[in-house]
Structure formats: structure tokens, C-alpha cells
Structure 1
Amino acid sequence: MLRTPYALCALLATALPNAAAAAAPQSFKGEYTVSFLGLSVARATFSSSYQGDTYSINGTVSAAGLAKLFDDTKGTISSKGIISGKRMQPQAFRADYTSGKKASVVDIRFANGAVTATKVVPAPGKRDPKSWVPLGAGDLSSVLDPMAATVIHADSLDNVCGRTVKFYDGEMRADLTLTYAAKGSISVQGYKGDTVTCRMGFEPVAGYRKGRKALNYLKNRSKMMVTFAPVGQSGVYAPIRATVGTQIGTLTISAGRFEAIN
């Protein structure tokens, strides 16, 4: 995690505004900067639209600043599905990105909340059965893709934290737990108002190599904080800022724009 361009795309998805279904179509836009040790390393823009009980989200991600000298990554991300009650139920997720001349794809299909097919290009290499934790029969039921995983339906800011999200990125299944940390306020283009910050815990479940230092750090030592703000009057709360402690420093994702566009 956080070692590949796709992992960066997945992380950027934690800073994505979305909205619940409404009688009239709704559209939202978010613009984000990813910085590391105070230096800009990536930018992302996400647009989402909602009509009835369906949603679609499209985003672009690109390396920025000094990061472009080492890894000129560009990509697009898309997700679509339905909204059932207070739950996002994805139907399809796709990430296409290039790093230099290397092109990669992650494509996940869902039905009734469960993964039905996963396509990864280039295909992963052979796994060592002694160190690899394989996906089990029930691991891919009631899971969310990297975009839908961070959308919180709640009655108020007080009810945003205090939950566990089942996350699947095309290879790894993990649980993300949100616990209350603090309330605050923020002002960015399109939004000025109250926020709530949750501490995020990370627990790998399957689809990963045991003993991987980066994963162990995220699980046992990393301080991960996510700040949520309401998206209009939709009853949905989405991340407007996030920080992730890594072995070599803190990664920060912050919104410069977070607003309804119609």
C-alpha cells in the first residue's frame, strides 16, 4: 500500500466528495492536493453526479512538483452504482493509469454488494503460499471500492465516526475503522462550516503478503486522521482533509475546492 501509482489513486479516493440520492440530479466537484513533507507530489480532481438512486464518479490523478521528476504518473478513476438505503452499492470500479510508458488497469465488477470479477493488468506475479494471505470465499461480500468506501451516510456530524468499512482495491481486502477524535471547522472554495475528525485504523484481512513492513506500519504505528464535512443537504459526509503517517513522513491530502456545482 502506498508503494504503487494505483495505491496513490486509492488513497486519493479518501478525499472525494459524494452525495446521496435526491429527487433532482445533483453534481459535485472536488479538487485536491497531495503533499509530502510540505512538498506537492500529486493533484486530483473528482466530479460526481447523482440521479434517482444511481451515482457515477469520475476522477483524474497526476503527479505534481518534484514527484514528476521521479515518477510521472497520470490516471483516471471511475465508479458507478446505486444507493440503497444509507449504503453505497457499487456496480463497477475502474482505474487506468500510466507511469512513464507503463500502462496499468484495475477493473472490479460487483453484483448485490459482492465482487463478481476483478481484472488487473499487468497481472500480479506468482504468490508464495507460505507468506501470502489469500482471499477467502466470504472476503468479497458486502465490500466497497476505493471510492465508495469513504462515503459516510449519517444523520449528523455526531454520527459520522464509530464504524468499520470493508474495503477492496482489486487485490487487498482491508477493514477501515473510524473512531471519533474532534470537531472543528474549515473554509475552502465551496464550503465554510463545521467538520468532524475521525482517527482511522487499518486492518489487512486478505490479499496481502505477511510481514510486509509498510502494511505493518499502517496497522500498528501509523497515525491516520480523516476530517469530514457535509456535502450540501444530502445527508452525506465526505473527507475534506486527510493525513497518513508513513515510515518516512506524513502524507497530507487537502481540498482546495469542495462544492456543489448545480
Structure 2
Amino acid sequence: MIKKIAAAALALGLALAGPAAAQSGNRSFDGVYSVHARGVEAGDFTYSFRQNGSTYTATAEREMKGWVGAALRRSQDYTYSVRGNVTADGTLRPTQYQHQGGRRRDDRPNGRLVRATFSANDVATTSVPAGMGMGDPPATAAQRRGVIDQITAIAAMVTATGDPCSRTLPIYMDGRSRFDFVLTPNGTVNINSRAYQGPGVRCRVQFRPIAGFGDPQEPATLTFLFARTESGMWAPVTIEMPTDGVGVVRLEARRLTVNGQRLR
């Protein structure tokens, strides 16, 4: 198995854009990204976030296409969903997460279904078919306390207060692998992409593996680029998202929409 570093959009428990906005109101973010893996444009990644007052939902889909998808036999095609609450201080707290995909030989026609239930102090994970391993070594209860999933992590970066590059994200990927993303500022940039042209900020992201990986992991440095929108939310323009099948993939935005308005 190709070395797995971590995962997401991404992913991606940060504060929302200001306490007052965090506690009430509706807002949304949608992104369509090209997936670049092993030096080629290999597929699509779509992401959608909705906040309705003190609750939120987010969904995502990754589909590898062309010869890459054929070579991988759809083993890297996944759908994701999560729902959770927005706390009084604006933190996103997932309650129910699931993903389906992989299409391994012993799985359902659409791949293994994995569900994770988040409580204040722990995360419980189940799978269909049953028997999914929890990594070696599995994350302890203390290591699972206060974590977020990778889909919530993307939403948290989108809705961050202030600089999105000055924080640490405790992530529990797919209800199995535990790691930290440590984000630090890495300067301002002029972005010229299919989805957005204008000023942006660059984050240096240190990956720190903690538990739950089936093979040895080494710390790594990733890069995220964000555009600040008029709404105050941050639009991820480029994200590096490691996977368990094709190494680190790079997501490059083709279309970004904030509160129903397309970014230019």
C-alpha cells in the first residue's frame, strides 16, 4: 500500500467568522476542484458546506477519472457527509460523520460504509461490512478527545476568524487515523487560477502523525492557498490532501461559490 500520510478538504475545529455570525445566520460554500495525482489531472473533488443557525452540514465527493480511475479500479472513489453543531464561541463540532467508497473485493457494490459518532469526549466508529481495523496502534480515548473529521476541517478553515493559518487542527480521519495539522502563515500571494484571480494567503501545514496508521509515517509539510471573500469567509483555492492510495494529491479549484455568489 502506498504510504498514507493523512487526509482533506481538506481538512480540514476552527472559529467561525466572528462570534455573532457564528451563533446565528445562514451561509454556504461550494467548491469544485481538479484532483492532481502523480503528475496528472486525475479526477474531481466537489465540496459543499451549509450553516443554518447553530447547526451545519457538509458533503464531499472524490472521483478518479480516465486511466487513473481505471487503474485504481475505483478504489479511490469516495462520498463523504457530516453534520454537527456550531457552539457559542463559533467552533464547529461534528456529531455524525460517514463515508462510503473503496470498492474492495469484500465490500458493498458502492464500497465500505464507515460511520463515526462524535461525543464530547470520544468517537465511536462502525463499518459495513464489519471488521474494519482501527490502525496500528489505534488512537487512545485521550487522543480521540476533541477531534474533528476531515470534512469538518475544511468547513472550519472556510469559516475561520482572522488568519486561517494560525492554529492547530486535531483530525481523526475516516474514524481511524489520528493526526494534527499545524498551520502557520507563509506569506501573501497573488493567485491566478481558473476559479479566482487576486490576493491570497499561503499556509505552511505541518502534518504530525499520532496514531491509527497501518504503516510508518513521517512528518511532512503541505501547502494551502486561501482567498478572503467579501463575506469574511475564506475560499480554499489550492489544498494538498494526502490519501491512502495515491499519495499526496493536490486540489486546484475550478469553481468557488460563497453564499450563492460565484467567486471570480
TM-score range, shorter chain: 0.7 to 0.9
Measured after TM superposition, the shift of residue 176 of structure 1 is 0.9
Distance in 2 between residues matched to 1:28 and 1:58, nearest whole Å: 11
Distance in 2 between residues matched to 1:138 and 1:100, nearest whole Å: 31
Distance in 2 between residues matched to 1:164 and 1:126, nearest whole Å: 23
Distance in 2 between residues matched to 1:36 and 1:183, nearest whole Å: 26
Helix, strand or coil: the match of 1:208? coil
> Match of 1:182?
187
Distance in 1 between residues matched to 2:257 and 2:29, nearest whole Å: 6
Give the number of the structure with larger relative contact order, counting CA–CA contacts within 8 Å between residues 6 or more apart: 2
> Match of 1:139?
143
Q: How does 1:83-102 map to 2 (within 5 A)?
A: 83-84=86-87, 85-99=89-103, 102=107
Measured after TM superposition, the shift of residue 60 of structure 1 is 1.9
| 1:76 aligned residue (79, 88, 94) | 79
Q: 1:181-218, CA deviations, whole angstroms, 9 ceiling, x for partnerless residues?
A: 12113255664433211111111112234xx34x22xx
Give TM-score, length-normalised by structure 2: 0.77
Asked if 1:51 corresponds to 2:55, the answer is no
What is the one-letter code of the residue matched to 1:117? Answer: A
Distance in 2 between residues matched to 1:59 and 1:249, nearest whole Å: 19
> Match of 1:119?
126
Note the residue ranges of structure 1 that are not aligned, 5 or more in a row: none
What is the one-letter code of the residue matched to 1:161? Answer: C
**What is the root-mean-square deviation of aligned Cα atoms in Å?**
3.2
Distance 1:146 1:245, change over 3 A: closer
The alignment-based identity, stated in percent, is 25
Distance 1:237 1:166, change over 3 A: same
Q: Is the 8 A contact 1:14 1:147 kept in 2?
A: yes
> Match of 1:167?
171
Distance in 1 between residues matched to 2:248 and 2:134, nearest whole Å: 32
Distance in 2 between residues matched to 1:199 and 1:136, nearest whole Å: 28
Q: Is the 8 A contact 2:30 2:256 kept in 1?
A: yes
Measured after TM superposition, the shift of residue 66 of structure 1 is 1.9
Measured after TM superposition, the shift of residue 24 of structure 1 is 4.1
Distance in 1 between residues matched to 2:241 and 2:97, nearest whole Å: 24
What is the one-letter code of the residue matched to 2:166? Answer: G
Distance 1:198 1:22, change over 3 A: same
Q: Is the 8 A contact 1:22 1:50 kept in 2?
A: no
What is the one-letter code of the residue matched to 1:119? Answer: T
> Match of 1:105?
113
What is the one-letter code of the residue matched to 1:29? Answer: D
Distance 1:115 1:29, change over 3 A: same
Q: 1:51-83, CA deviations, whole angstroms, 9 ceiling, x for partnerless residues?
A: 111111122221112212212423311011111
Distance in 2 between residues matched to 1:144 and 1:166, nearest whole Å: 6
Q: Is the 8 A contact 2:85 2:95 kept in 1?
A: yes
Distance in 1 between residues matched to 2:229 and 2:117, nearest whole Å: 27
Measured after TM superposition, the shift of residue 44 of structure 1 is 1.4
> Match of 1:258?
256
Q: Is the 8 A contact 1:34 1:43 kept in 2?
A: yes
What is the one-letter code of the residue matched to 2:55? Answer: T
